[in-house]
Structure 1
Amino acid sequence: MKILLVEDESKLSEVVKSFLEAENYEVAQAYDGIEAVELFEREEVQLVILDLMLPKLSGEEVCRKIRSQSNVPIIMVTAKVEEEERIEGLSIGADDYVIKPFSVKELVQRVKTLLRRSYSDGPKAEKYSFNDGDLEIDLSAGIVLKDGIDAGLTGSELKVLKTFLANLGSILSRDQLIEKSFGYDYDGNDRTVDAHIKNIRHKIEDNPKEPEYILTVYGMGYRFGVKR
């Protein structure tokens, strides 16, 4: 698998690259935001490690450009430590978040975990269609269509949606959504789940403030509330 490593600190980039190559990953390196977008459009990569503090084009803008054309997993790397900044990173399409300074070994493990979850050969999911084709979902192909147009869900958002569809009609707490969607070792929190729900609603609901698909059950969690 090929990884796009976007990091303007050349020494750090070389260290991370060497650790990834030791695990038999192929690594393409970019040192600024514009180069990152160009490389992504030219190379076929399976994961992006993306620093946010980049010259020429910010990491946030790079993430948005990648998300406009792909659901490839993205790990954001940044010195920003405030929770709101991490939530913002997730809201624009990141699948995981690493704070500088970090352990390169931990980063590599996160890469392995995210790749395994994103490209595992699990059983093919069935196709779903709601409200006479208003919302169409093919989880085996990773496609979600809203009014016939690709809704652009990220890999993490697809995992959450798959959990809802596997538990149609059931109320799922935030903890259950984390466990069923991302596994026991996921280090996100309630706010992270809420951010994913908010993003999904904006992509599949006619009115995110009055959702008809993902419903809030106050004091309990969420449920997918429409009948097929």
Structure 2
Amino acid sequence: MNNYNILVVDDDSEIREAIKIYLKNEKMNIIEASNGEEALKDLENADIDLIIMDIMMPKMDGIKATFKIREDKNIPIIMLSAKSENTDKILGLNIGADDYITKPFNPLELVARVNSQLRRYNNFGHKESKDEIVVRGISLNKSTKTLKVNDEEVKLTPTEYKMLKLLMENKGRVFSISEIYTKVWKEPFINGENTVSVHIRRLREKIEINPKEPEYLKVVWGIGYKIEK
């Protein structure tokens, strides 16, 4: 049996403790957080396989935390909601939660839902590894140097791979044309604008549904390009 790491996020310590007892019986490792801010920090420091996320919490609630997590991670998220939180529950599902369970809940049902999500994710999902960079629907494998867009493999030239790797490893950061050129081509930037622009256009044709209205590879006018988080 896999020793999955489960992040339990709830401001009620008694609920966290109850969940921990039942999941430890399933040989799972439990990491606890009392709000969304703590959860985001835990995600940076540990390899998490699944998140159980309460909606109503101080500092950062479960909706905001889920939205932030879904910017670049595909980890299964099960939301905990009170019956009075139906609107938030629907919002949570719409922004990327995989399942929900209503408080008060049967712990055995929660365990069953956790196991179900882990099976689905590991059999059919896309678990990000240290060799992969994932930004929503696109994933770049640094070991095999392969690109998948919505689970379909897309062929890249060596230069396209280097450029996309640079941008995906630094998602959200804007690179000037000269920076891209010197980092990818490893030579001084002299009249390289057209060269970079041509490769940007080709990359967009490969990763974007509509290259004229890019979802991933964005231009920041007067500055350069970035991969949108």
TM-score (norm 2): 0.53
Tell me the C-alpha RMSD between the 2 structures. Answer: 2.8
Match of 2:144 in 1: none
Which whole-Å deviations, capped at 9, do the CAs of 1:9-65 have from their partners, x for residues lacking one?
101110110100010001100012211111111111010000011111111111011
* 3-state DSSP of counterpart to 1:120: helix
Paired AA for residue 15 in structure 1: A
Counterpart check, 1:2 vs 2:8: no
Indicate whether 1:32 and 2:45 are aligned: no
Contact 1:73 1:118 in 2 (8 A): yes
Once the two structures are superposed, the pairs formed by residues 165-184 of structure 1 within 5 Å of their partners are: none
Moved more, 54-63 or 81-90: 81-90
Q: How far did residue 96 of structure 1 move?
A: 0.1
Which of the residues 67, 73, 86 maps onto 1:64? Answer: 67
CA distance in 2, matches of 1:47, 1:30: 13
Q: Give the partner amino acid of 2:106.
A: S
Where do 5+ consecutive residues of structure 1 fail to align?
Answer: 123-134, 141-147, 151-203, 207-228
Report whether the alignment pairs 1:137 with 2:140: no
Are 2:77 and 2:98, in contact at CA under 8 Å, matched by a contact in 1? Answer: yes
Give the equivalent residue in structure 2 for 1:127. Answer: none
The higher-RCO structure (CA 8 Å, 6+ apart) is: 1
Decide whether the 8 Å contact of 2:79 with 2:92 is kept in 1: yes
Does 2:57 align with 1:44? no
Within 5 Å, give how 1:70-85 maps onto structure 2. 70-81=73-84, 83-85=86-88
- CA distance in structure 2 between the partners assigned to 1:52 and 1:41 by the alignment: 21
Is the CA contact (8 Å cut-off) linking 1:6 and 1:29 kept in structure 2? yes
2:25 corresponds to which of 22, 34, 37: 22
Aligned partner letter, 2:14: K
CA distance in 2: counterparts of 1:28 and 1:116, whole angstroms: 20
Query: Which amino acid counterpart does residue 30 of structure 1 have in structure 2?
Result: A
* Partner secondary structure for residue 76 of structure 1: strand
The number of aligned residues is: 136
Q: Deviations over 1:75-106 (max 9, x none)?
A: 00011446543321111110001111111110
Distance 1:19 1:139, change over 3 A: farther
TM-score, normalised relative to structure 1:
0.54
Amino acid at match of 1:73: P
Letter in 2 for 1:109: A
Structure 2 unpaired stretches of 5+: 126-147, 154-163, 169-207, 211-229
* CA spacing shift, 1:67–1:121, aligned 2, 3 Å: closer
- Partner amino acid for 1:25? M
Identity %: 40
Q: 1:138 and 1:116 mapped to 2: Cα distance?
A: 18
8 Å contact kept, 1:81–1:99: no
From 13, 26, 29, the equivalent of 2:16 is 13
